[in-house]
Amino acid sequence: MHRHIASIFTKWEDEGYFLISNSHVMETTIARFRACTMPTRLRWVKGHSGDPGNDGADCLARAATEKDAPDIVDLTIPPVLKMRGARLVALTQTMAYKIIRKIKVQAEPYQAKLDRNNTNRNVQLALAAANKHCRVEITREELDLNRSACFFLWMVVHDGYIVRRHWKHINSCEDRIECKKCGTEESMDHILTRCDAPGQREVWELAKRLWQQKTKTDLIITKGLIMSCGIQPPSVHRSHSRKGIERFCRILISESAHLIWKMRNNCVINGKEHYSLHEIEQRKKAIRKFLVLTMWQGALVNESSLQEDWTKDSGVLVGMVK
C-alpha cells in the first residue's frame, strides 16, 4: 500500500482510476489523504516481523474474510476531490482504448445483454425436462445427433434464431412478429409445440404414434424436452433396450423439431404453400448395425416376418408407421 500510494497515485489520477482494480476504494483512500491539512508520512514495515501495527492489520484482514456480511464503509468522496475522468495530456491511444472499452462493458445495456435471460431460461427448461424424465445423472457423451440437429438445438437454447421481437429490428419484416395463422407472438415455443398451421401438429402426431408403437408409452412434447433430447430420453420400461431407446428418442425428437422449423421457414420466409404429409422426408445415415436394430425394434410393421438382419433390405423403413 505504501509503495502504491506514495509512488504511482499520480499516474492513477491521470488515468481517472479506470485501469486499476478496486478503483473506488483506492480513489477514496487517496482523496482522504489529500483532504488532510497536515503533512502525511508513511513508513514501510517488513511483513511478519513482529511489528504490532502490521500484525494487527493482518488480524483485522483475517477477521474481515470470515464475516458473513461485509461492513458498511463510507466511501463517499468530497466533490472538490472527485476525479472527473482521465487527463487528456496523459492519455495514449492504448490507454484510451482500454478506458473506452471498460466504460462500455460496465454500461447497463451491455450488462443486460450479458445476462442472457432467454438462454438461462431455456437451459433451465431443458435441465428440468431431463431431470423429470430420466432421474439420472445428466451426460453429454452421446453423439447420435447429426451436425445440423446439434446446431439447431444449440440455437434454440441460446435464443439465436430470428423469431418474435427480433423481427422488429429488420426493415419490412415487422409483420412476422406475430403468427399469421394464430394471431399470437410467434416464439420458438409457439412454432415447435403450439402453432395451428399445418405441419407442427402432423409431425408430432406421427412421432407420438411411432413412440407409442415402440415403447407402449405416451410422448408429451414440450420445448424443454426438445432442448434436452440430446441429454437423456423419457423413461421407459426396463424391458426395453436402453441403448436403442436413447438413440431412437434423440433422433426422433431432434429431427422432428428440426423438420418443423425448416417447414416453417419455407412457409414464412420463402412463401411456400403449407406442406402435406407426403412431403415429410425420411433420411438414413451410416451407423452401427446393432444400434439400427435395437433402435427400430418394436417400431416396424410386420416385424416378425422380417429376417434377423434386415439392415441391408430396401423398403423396411418406408411406411413403417401403422
132 plus 208 within the same structural domain? yes
State which of 96, 113, 130 marks the end of a domain. 113
Q: According to the model, what pLDDT value does residue 192 have? A: 92
Whether the predicted pLDDT of 285 surpasses 70: no
Q: Read off the pLDDT band of 283 (50, 70, 90).
A: very low
Statement to judge: residues 167 and 263 lie in one domain: yes
Same domain, 273 and 126: yes
Strand partners, 97: none
- Asked if residue 75 is part of any domain, the answer here is yes
Residue 286's pLDDT band (boundaries 50, 70, 90)? very low
Compute the 3-state secondary structure of the chain and give helix, strand, coil in percent, each to the nearest 5: 55, 0, 45
Contacts of 112 (CB under 8 A, 6+ apart): none
128-132, 137-141, 200-204: range with lowest mean pLDDT: 137-141
Considering the domain architecture, whether residues 105 and 126 belong to the same structural domain is answered as: no
The verdict on 49 and 149 lying in the same domain is no
Q: Which of 53, 88, 113 is the last residue of a domain?
A: 113
**Among 13, 32, 33, CA closest to 23:** 13
Task: Answer whether residue 123 shows pLDDT above 80.
Answer: no
Report which residue type is found at 311.
T
What is the model's pLDDT at position 130? 65
Average pLDDT estimate for 142-146? 66
User: What integer is the mean pLDDT of 297-310?
Assistant: 64
At 25 the pLDDT is 86
- Do 223 and 154 fall into the same domain? yes
| pLDDT the model gives residue 281 | 45
Q: What is the pLDDT of residue 77?
A: 87
Lowest mean pLDDT among 31-35, 159-163, 238-242, 251-255: 238-242
Do 222 and 306 meet the contact criterion of CB atoms below 8 Å apart? no
Share of the chain above pLDDT 90, in %: 3
**Of 264, 280, 296, which closes a domain?**
280
In this structure, the answer to whether residues 109 and 139 fall within a common structural domain is no
Q: Is residue 41 part of a domain?
A: yes
Residue type, 92: T
Task: Indicate whether 52 and 124 sit together in one domain.
Answer: no
Helices and strands, counts by H and E, the chain: 13, 0
The predicted model scores a pTM of 0.51
Is residue 228 helix, strand or coil? coil
Report how many domains make up the chain.
Answer: 2
Residue in the structure block whose three cell numbers are 466504460: 103
Q: Rounded mean pLDDT of the chain?
A: 77
pLDDT at 320 over 70: no
- Mean pLDDT, rounded, for 63-71: 84
Task: Indicate if the pLDDT at residue 313 is higher than 70.
Answer: no
Q: Which domain holds residue 221?
A: 117-280
Q: How many CB atoms lie within 10 A of CB 216?
A: 12
pLDDT at 275: 63
Residue 165, pLDDT > 70, answer yes
Same domain as 152, residue 23: no
Burial class (CB in 10 A: 0-12, 13-18, 19+), 149: buried
Residue 134 pLDDT > 50, yes or no? yes
Tell me, what's the pLDDT at 274?
64
**pLDDT band at 80, cuts 50/70/90?**
confident
pLDDT given at position 196: 86
Does 57 score more than 70 pLDDT?
yes
**CB 129: neighbour CB atoms within 10 A?**
22
Q: Which range, 117-126, 185-194, 277-286, is most confident?
A: 185-194
Question: Does residue 200 form part of some domain?
Answer: yes
Are 107 and 143 within one domain?
Answer: no
Tell me the CA end-to-end span of the chain in Å, nearest whole number.
Answer: 79
On whether both 227 and 260 belong to a single domain, the answer is: yes
Q: 172 or 302: which carries more pLDDT confidence? A: 172
